[in-house]
Each structure stands twice: as C-alpha cells, then as structure tokens.
Amino acid sequence: MPKALVPKRPPREQVTARIYAAAIRLFASRGYEATTMQDIAVKVGMTAPALYYYFESKQRLLYDVIEINFEHFAGMLDLLVPAEADSPTEALRSFVRTHLEFQLEDVDRARIYNAMFLGTGALLESLTAGQRAEILKFQTKVRGRLQAILERGVARREFAVADFTVTGMGILALGEFAVAWFDPDSRLTVAQVADQCADLAVRMVQAPSRRGK
Amino acid sequence: MPKALVPKRPPREQVTARIYAAAIRLFASRGYEATTMQDIAVKVGMTAPALYYYFESKQRLLYDVIEINFEHFAGMLDLLVPAEADSPTEALRSFVRTHLEFQLEDVDRARIYNAMFLGTGALLESLTAGQRAEILKFQTKVRGRLQAILERGVARREFAVADFTVTGMGILALGEFAVAWFDPDSRLTVAQVADQCADLAVRMVQAPSRRGK
DNA sequence: GGCATTATTGAATGAACGTTAAACACGGGC
DNA sequence: GCCCGTGTTTAACGTTCATTCAATAATGCC
C-alpha cells in the first residue's frame, strides 16, 4: 500500500502555517476586531478552542502574523536599493517594478502592509507599540530610498520634479492601489502591470528635454 | 440678560449631526466592529443608551452615515463630468483636481469612500446589499468618466496611453492615496497638492510629440 | 408654579466572543 | 492489548457589548 494513502498526522509546523494563512486573509479583509477565532478555526477545519493548542491568544496570533510578514517586508526593502550602475531612470523603473511585484504577488500580505501605511483597516490599533515603531521605520526607509532616486535623477537633469513629496507619493500610490483593482484572472499578468506602472512613474518625473525618448 | 448666555437645548437635528460626525470619524479610523456605542457616546458627551433616543441601532447609524455620504459622492460625480469645450488635457486636469479636493476636503468622508473602493477597512462587510450595489455604481461611473476622457485624448492624439486600465487606476490612485499622507498643517495646501497631482496625471498620459509643453 | 413632553440616566438583559478546563480520541511504542 | 503523549472536543466562565426598560431630570408651555 503506497504511503500516500496513509494520511500521517501533519507536522505541527504545517498546521500553524495553515492557521497563519487563514488568519492573515481574514485579518486583511475584515480587520482584526471583526474576525472571530471561530472564523479562523472554521477556515482550517477545527473548532475555536483547538487553536489555543497552537497559540496562546488571538492577540498573539496577530502579533505573529505581522512579525512573519516583517521578514518579507525587509526582503523587499533590500530589493529596493538601486544598483550603483543604474541610471536614475533605470533605478526608478526597478523600484516601481519591485514594489508592484511585492504588492501583487501576495495580496493578503500586501493588504496588511498597506493597512499599516494607510492607517486604515483597524489593524494598527491592535498592534504593540514595538511593532508600530517597526512599521514607521519601514515607511521611512521606503520613502527615503525613493527620494534618493528622485534626487539623483534631478541632479543629473534626467528628472524634473516639482515637489518631491507629492511626486514620491504619486509613485508609491501606483503600487499600494494596485491590490485594490488587480485581478489575477484578467488578461494582464503581474509582470505586465509592473512594467506599465514603471512606465507611468518614469513619465511622472521625466524632464521635458528628455521626453519622447 | 443676553440670550447667548441662556443655553437653549440644541435642536434634535444638531445633535444627530454631532453624532454622525463622531460616528463617521470612528468608523473611518477604527472600523465598524471595533467602534463601540460607548466610544461614540463619549465623543458627543452622552452615555451609550442615550444614542438610542436618536437611532434605532448601531447598524442603522452606519447605514445613515453611508447614506448621507452618498449624497456628497453624487455631488462629486457631477463635478467630474468635463465641459464640452475642454480639451482632453484640461478635462483630465479638472477631473484630478476635483477628485483630490474631494479627498482632502473631508478626510473622514474620503476614508469611507476609499474603504468601499479598496474593499478594506471592514466597512463593506457591514453594509446592506442595496448599499453595496449603490457603491458599485459609483465606482463604475467614476471609472467610466475617466476612461471617456482618456479615450477622447487618445483619439485627438493628445494622449498616448499604453493601457487604459492601468493608466486609469494610476490616476485614481493619486487621489485615493492622498488622504494617507496629506497633512493639512504642512506647507502644502489642498489646492497645491491638487494642482501637482493634475500635473502628474497629465504627464502620465501625454503623447511624446506634445511633451515638453 | 404645575404639567406634559423631551431627553437622559443607571441598572438589567441577552448574545457573542475570547478563553479555560476537563473529558475524550487517536496513533505509536512496548 | 496497554499506555502515553499529542491533538481535539464539548461544556463552561467571565467579559464586553448592543440594546431595553423603568425611573428621572430638564425643558417648554399654560
């Protein structure tokens, strides 16, 4: 008899992973308060008290979910730093593409990330002070990276930027808004959208003398 | 004795208005589920049961808040229709400016509006089916108006648009994201931000031959 | 100044929810 | 076949919250 037909009890790790997945989806779509332990339990096929065998509390579950995602955020952050050789235009393209791929690759994770930045979604309120501080650091770093790219572009006269804040936010908006409308089943692939958005960003900053390729 | 010193009981209308204001702010920032009747009551200086003299239920309070804002949304929608005489560029500028002024003029209202569009914020879940349908209509109309402007611009060769969906969403993103970062106490006024964003939008769509003014 | 109406309160109710506790199933090792 | 640790369940507890109710205070009217 093939061992595949003998369903071994799944290892603890795998169960917690499934719980995390259910929790992040529910927290991201309904918010922390509006999600009950039973909602999560049903989604993984248990009863609510069973969850307490794996997690000490709902609050802790949220904490862990955020914490896990911090690692992904940090990973994206590393990808956002431009290569020295890149022209400002290339650096900006790369920045926007990375940002969009991050956003569209895992919509639930992105919603958590955005909820934090947008101050919406009733998630921020439920975090610990330490996590909130951590989030601010991410925000500052991402904006700093983008600003550096823009400044370099202006210094080289590749870019013409009227206002760094507004332009920077306009560029970030492309990514944060994308999860709201992108449909993975549509004709557009993630890569295509990312490329298109990179184009839009470049257009936003391109100096008049260099426009029209 | 001057009548100003004799505090007449405020008319019912005025009290409900204050309750609405408190409710919209709390719903928008914390979400519906995370807001308690007591939160609202404290904010207007009453106890929770007193609210029931004005509203039959919390659900109804949310319903009314959304309903009231529908009128504002509809008002904005009317402003989004371009004048016949406008060039596509002017029409787009006007569209974006109107959108941004709407967003920044009342941040709480805008958050409600955006939460609906973004599917985040745990508000959508708490609405009636009728209200949800109404929201979809708004969404469709706004996108339709923008698409019409873009198509006219392309037809006249004023615009070069690679993809209507992505470009349209990029333009809407400017406004929906603005409430997240705009600080009314900063050096930038609403009008300035709106103008800047209009510029960014125009840059996003401008045909190469016409770029550089 | 008394009275009906309007507005608000404190206490009470019932449901939902997070969480705990004790009992129960299941599988592996002897 | 028995035992033990690992999961899971049902029942129960305490709390929070929306909501109700009876009592009461404030107001406007005569």
What is the average pLDDT across B178-193? 95
- Residue B50 above 90 pLDDT? yes
- pLDDT on residue B209: 60
- Residue B6 above 80 pLDDT? no
- Residue A206 has φ and ψ, to the nearest 5°, of -65, 135
For residue B89, the number of C-alpha atoms closer than 13 Å in the C-beta half-sphere is 15
Among A173, A166, A182, A162, which residue's Cα sits nearest to residue A200?
A173
- pLDDT on residue A181: 94
What is the average pLDDT across B177-204? 96
Q: What angle do CA B194, B195, B198 make, to 5 degrees?
A: 85
Rounded Cα gap, residues B39 and B32, in angstroms: 11
Chain A's closest residue to B110, CA to CA, is A120
Q: Which residues of A touch B166 (CB under 8 A)?
A: 188, 193, 196-197, 200
Residues with CB under 7 A from strand C: A 8-9, 35-38, 48-49, 52, 56-59; B 9, 11-12, 15, 46-47, 49-50, 53
- Residue B38 above 90 pLDDT? yes
Looking across all nucleic acid strands, the nucleotide with the smallest C1' to CA distance from residue B44 is C8
Sorting pLDDT into bands at 50, 70 and 90, what band is A198? very high
Is the separation of the CB atoms in A158 and A87 below 8 Å? Answer: yes
Q: CB of B180 within 8 Å of any CB in chain A? A: yes
- pLDDT on residue A121: 58
Q: Which of A147-156, B39-48, B122-131, B194-203 has the lowest mean pLDDT?
A: B122-131
What is the average pLDDT across B168-184? 96
Protein-to-nucleotide distance from the CA of B56 to the C1' of C3, whole angstroms:
28
- pLDDT on residue B7: 58
Is the Cβ pair A166, B188 closer than 8 Å? Answer: yes
Look up the pTM and report it. 0.90
- pLDDT on residue A92: 97
Rounded Cα gap, residues A194 and A212, in angstroms: 21
Chain B: closest CA distance from residue A179 (Å)? 8
Sorting pLDDT into bands at 50, 70 and 90, what band is B157? very high
- pLDDT on residue A58: 96
Q: Which residues pair with A159 in a beta bridge?
A: A206
Distances (CA, A) of A192 to A88, A180, B16, B173, B190: 21, 17, 49, 18, 33
| Torsion sign across C-alpha atoms A187, A190, A195, A200 | positive
Is the separation of the CB atoms in B77 and B85 below 8 Å? Answer: no
Tell me the per-residue pLDDT of A66-120, one tens digit each, with 9 for 90 and over. Answer: 999 888 889 998 999 888 888 999 999 999 999 999 999 999 999 888 877 776 6
Is the Cβ pair A34, B125 closer than 8 Å? Answer: yes
Place of tokens 């997240």: B180
Rounded Cα gap, residues A12 and B95, in angstroms: 54
- pLDDT on residue B130: 82
What's the mean pLDDT when you consider all of chain B? Answer: 89
Rounded Cα gap, residues B210 and B205, in angstroms: 11
Protein-to-nucleotide distance from the CA of A90 to the C1' of D18, whole angstroms:
56
Which residue, among B59, B109, B120, would best test binding to A if mutated, counting the most A CBs under 10 Å from its CB?
A: B120
Amino acid at A155: A
CB contact residues (below 8 A), chain B span 134-163, against chain A: 162-163
B207 or A155, greater pLDDT? A155
- Residue B131 above 90 pLDDT? no
DSSP code per residue over chain A: --GGGS-PPPPHHHHHHHHHHHHHHHHHHH-TTT--HHHHHHHHTS-GGGGGGT-S-HHHHHHHHHHHHHHHHHHHHHHTSPPTTS-HHHHHHHHHHHHHHHHHH-HHHHHHHHHHHHT-TT-GGGS-HHHHHHHHHHHHHHHHHHHHHHHHHHHTTSB--S-HHHHHHHHHHHHHHHHHH--TTSS--HHHHHHHHHHHHHHHHB-GGG---
Chain A's closest residue to B174, CA to CA, is A170
Rounded Cα gap, residues B197 and B200, in angstroms: 5
Looking across all nucleic acid strands, the nucleotide with the smallest C1' to CA distance from residue A51 is D8
Q: Which of A9-13, A95-99, B3-7 has the lowest mean pLDDT?
A: B3-7
Place of tokens 């009227």: A162
- pLDDT on residue A122: 67
Rounded Cα gap, residues A135 and A77, in angstroms: 12
Among B203, B95, B99, which residue's Cα sits nearest to residue B159?
B203
Is the separation of the CB atoms in B104 and B194 below 8 Å? Answer: yes
Q: What angle do CA B27, B33, B35 make, to 5 degrees?
A: 50
Tokens of B170: 């990029």
For residue B71, the number of C-alpha atoms closer than 13 Å in the C-beta half-sphere is 4
Chain A's closest residue to B36, CA to CA, is A33
- Residue B79 above 50 pLDDT? yes
Is the Cβ pair A166, B196 closer than 8 Å? Answer: yes
Tell me the per-residue pLDDT of A165-194, one tens digit each, with 9 for 90 and over. Answer: 999 999 999 999 999 999 999 999 999 999
List bases, strand D, within 7 Å of protein CB. Answer: 6-12, 16-21, 26-28
Q: Which of A33-37, A160-164, A209-213 has the lowest mean pLDDT?
A: A209-213
Tell me the per-residue pLDDT of A110-159, one tens digit each, with 9 for 90 and over. Answer: 988 887 777 665 677 777 788 888 888 888 999 999 999 999 999 999 99
First to last CA, chain B: 66
- Residue B146 has φ and ψ, to the nearest 5°, of -65, -45
Q: Which of A121, A176, A181 sits opposite B121 (nearest CB)?
A: A121
